[in-house]
């Protein structure tokens, strides 16, 4: 639950941004915020998703009772986060500079470019936060990140209100005020968790025994694993981001409606990623202990939990779709009608979305990375994106067709990743797989 709440807090920052932008500005600004935010998150997803391997490696080392390796892995993870922050930050800035590539209207482009510049800068402290929290999460102390994230959510909402509207001594920045609020909140998160981890007696023994040790072999390993794992998330986020571009070509009403529906679906998805992270940690711990039965129980428990949770969310989306849309907009009937229909579709596809992300987490706990990455590539780039174009533009199904196509890709991913986990578990030989990160990929 603490990991779920922490993950929910991260996505609720984006939800808060969009609600306040929609309320205080207009549908055009909301569409621009959604488009720029999706492109910035597309780039950052490689690090945000990939750095989770640090937590899995720490949990495995804990299962082996190797305190030195826990400390080394944490320190190497911080260096990997810093390197990825610089590289991915530069890529994000280039995309913002050439925002015309996305083929949007001049108004959307002018609003989106500075918004994305600010979000690009905020990704650096976000990466450091994600890397640092891997120590507390991997050692089963997830409440640390939970409290920091919840407090950051409050800070983000407050500065959104102050900077969008120019309240009191704060300048009126409009849409850019929302991005600046995110930068402030993420910087606070990185500073707060760093202070806690480096000053807490709970973690001091791991930091002390690893001080001064050579990390030359571990940093490249984490960068390799994090990048490969990150592409699992990248392929999904990229599919959704390119879908946003296609929706933008259909019209600004469709773009705004999509942003509302995807915000709602993203909220439940991030809660599912909390279950996935917890499952990955438990699977990793059991894997480090060479306990095949515990691996099975941890993975299966995560699958059952996410299926039950997403099933309840599906019922909520189907029965309260109109009400949920009014949280974002109340005076734009065309956008509200489109969004209400999309929320119904989201109710169904989030079932597959939750299952596939838990499967990715369970496989990450077994150090199985390459094959799941290939499965996600096929699901989103071979199935979802081409089908989106056909349904939306060839068959004239508009934005509804794009959402149906995305659902098809998610379902493919969920089925094959789940099959992969149980098939790999059946073949698992702890004596040969314990210290080899890629052996399972040959099966």
Residues in the chain: 443
User: pLDDT (tens digit, 9 = 90+) per residue, 231-269?
Assistant: 888 888 788 778 888 888 888 888 888 888 888 888 888
Cα–Cα distance for residue pair 71/235, rounded to 1 Å: 31
User: pLDDT (tens digit, 9 = 90+) per residue, 303-362?
Assistant: 999 999 999 999 999 999 889 888 887 777 888 888 899 999 988 888 999 999 999 999
Domain around 171: 2-442
- SS3 assignment for 120-188: HHHHHHHHHHHHHHHHHHHCCCCHHHHHHHHHHHHHHHHHHHHHHHCCCCCCCCCHHHHHHHHHHHHHH
Q: What is the pLDDT of residue 83?
A: 93
Distance of CA 172 to the CA centre of its chain: 30
Cα–Cα distance for residue pair 112/309, rounded to 1 Å: 34
Burial 222-251 (b: 16+ CB within 10 A, else e): bbebbbbbbbbbbbbbbbbbbbbbbbbebb
- Measured between alpha carbons, how far is residue 382 from residues 370, 376, 400 in Å? 17, 9, 19
Distance of CA 268 to the CA centre of its chain: 11
| pLDDT top residue among 224 and 109 | 224
Number of domains observed in the structure of the chain: 1
Cα–Cα distance for residue pair 246/383, rounded to 1 Å: 16
Q: What is the pLDDT of residue 23?
A: 77
Q: Which of 353, 365, 373 is nearest to 414 (CA)?
A: 353
**Mean of all residue pLDDT scores within the chain:** 86
Given a contact cutoff of 8 angstroms between Cβ atoms, the answer to whether 268 and 313 are in contact is: yes
What would the mean pLDDT of 138-161 be, rounded to a whole number? 90
Q: In which band, very low, low, confident or very high, does the pLDDT at 430 lie, cut at 50, 70 and 90?
A: low
Given a contact cutoff of 8 angstroms between Cβ atoms, the answer to whether 35 and 255 are in contact is: yes
Q: What is the pLDDT of residue 126?
A: 92
Please say if the pLDDT value at position 28 is more than 60.
yes
Given a contact cutoff of 8 angstroms between Cβ atoms, the answer to whether 135 and 142 are in contact is: no
What would the mean pLDDT of 357-384 be, rounded to a whole number? 92
Please say if the pLDDT value at position 148 is more than 90.
yes
Q: In which band, very low, low, confident or very high, does the pLDDT at 433 lie, cut at 50, 70 and 90?
A: very low
Percentage of the chain modeled with pLDDT above 70: 97
Q: In which band, very low, low, confident or very high, does the pLDDT at 431 lie, cut at 50, 70 and 90?
A: low
Percentage of the chain modeled with pLDDT above 90: 37
Cα–Cα distance for residue pair 241/25, rounded to 1 Å: 23
Q: What is the pLDDT of residue 439?
A: 39
Cα–Cα distance for residue pair 315/203, rounded to 1 Å: 42
User: pLDDT (tens digit, 9 = 90+) per residue, 52-86?
Assistant: 889 889 988 888 889 899 999 999 999 999 999 99
Question: Cα(first)–Cα(last) distance of the chain, in Å?
Answer: 34
Q: What is the pLDDT of residue 327?
A: 83
Which range has the top average pLDDT, 86-95, 292-301, 364-373?
292-301
Residues 6+ apart with CB under 8 A from 435: none
DSSP assigned state of 434: T
Cα–Cα distance for residue pair 336/215, rounded to 1 Å: 53
Please say if the pLDDT value at position 283 is more than 50.
yes
Task: Tell the burial category of 74 from Cβ atoms under 10 Å away from its Cβ (0-12, 13-18, 19+).
Answer: buried
pTM of the model: 0.78
Q: What is the pLDDT of residue 314?
A: 92
Cα–Cα distance for residue pair 266/8, rounded to 1 Å: 9
């Amino acid at each position: 639950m603490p990991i779920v709440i922490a993950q929910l807090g991260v996505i609720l920052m984006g939800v808060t941004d969009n609600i306040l932008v929609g309320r205080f500005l207009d549908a055009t600004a909301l569409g621009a915020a959604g488009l720029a935010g999706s492109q910035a998150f597309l780039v950052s997803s490689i690090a945000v998703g990939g750095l989770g391997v640090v937590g899995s490696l720490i949990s495995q080392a804990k299962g082996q009772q190797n305190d030195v390796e826990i400390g080394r892995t944490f320190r190497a993870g911080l260096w990997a986060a810093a390197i990825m922050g610089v590289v991915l930050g530069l890529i994000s800035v280039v995309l913002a500079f050439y925002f015309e590539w996305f083929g949007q209207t001049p108004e959307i482009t002018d609003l989106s470019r500075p918004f994305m510049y600010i979000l690009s800068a905020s990704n650096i402290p976000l990466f450091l936060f994600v890397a640092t929290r891997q120590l507390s999460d991997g050692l089963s102390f997830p409440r640390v990140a939970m409290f920091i994230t919840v407090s950051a959510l409050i800070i983000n909402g407050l500065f959104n209100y102050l900077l969008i509207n120019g309240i009191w001594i704060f300048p009126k920045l409009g849409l850019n005020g929302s991005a600046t609020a995110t930068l402030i909140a993420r910087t606070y998160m990185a500073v707060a968790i760093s202070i806690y981890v480096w000053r807490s007696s709970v973690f001091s023994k791991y930091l002390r025994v690893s001080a001064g040790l050579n990390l030359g072999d571990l940093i490249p390993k984490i960068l390799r694993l994090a990048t490969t794992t990150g592409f699992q998330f990248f392929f999904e986020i990229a599919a959704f981001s390119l879908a946003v571009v296609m929706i933008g070509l259909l019209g600004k009403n469709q773009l705004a409606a999509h942003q509302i529906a995807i915000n709602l679906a993203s909220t439940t998805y991030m809660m599912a990623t909390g279950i996935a992270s917890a499952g990955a940690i438990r699977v990793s711990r059991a894997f480090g202990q060479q306990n095949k039965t515990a691996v099975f129980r941890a993975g299966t428990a995560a699958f059952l939990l996410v299926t039950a949770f997403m099933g309840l969310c599906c019922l909520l989306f189907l029965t309260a779709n109109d009400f949920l849309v009014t949280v974002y907009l109340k005076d734009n009937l065309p956008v509200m009608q489109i969004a209400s229909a999309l929320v119904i579709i989201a109710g169904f596809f989030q079932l597959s979305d939750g299952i596939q992300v838990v499967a990715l987490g369970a496989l990450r706990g077994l150090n199985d990375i390459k094959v799941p990455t290939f499965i996600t590539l096929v699901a989103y780039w071979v199935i979802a994106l081409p089908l989106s174009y056909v349904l939306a533009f060839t068959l004239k199904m508009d934005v509804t067709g794009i959402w149906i196509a995305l659902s098809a890709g998610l379902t493919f991913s969920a089925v094959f990743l789940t099959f992969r986990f149980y098939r790999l578990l059946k073949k698992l030989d702890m004596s040969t797989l314990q210290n080899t990160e890629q052996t399972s990929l040959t099966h």
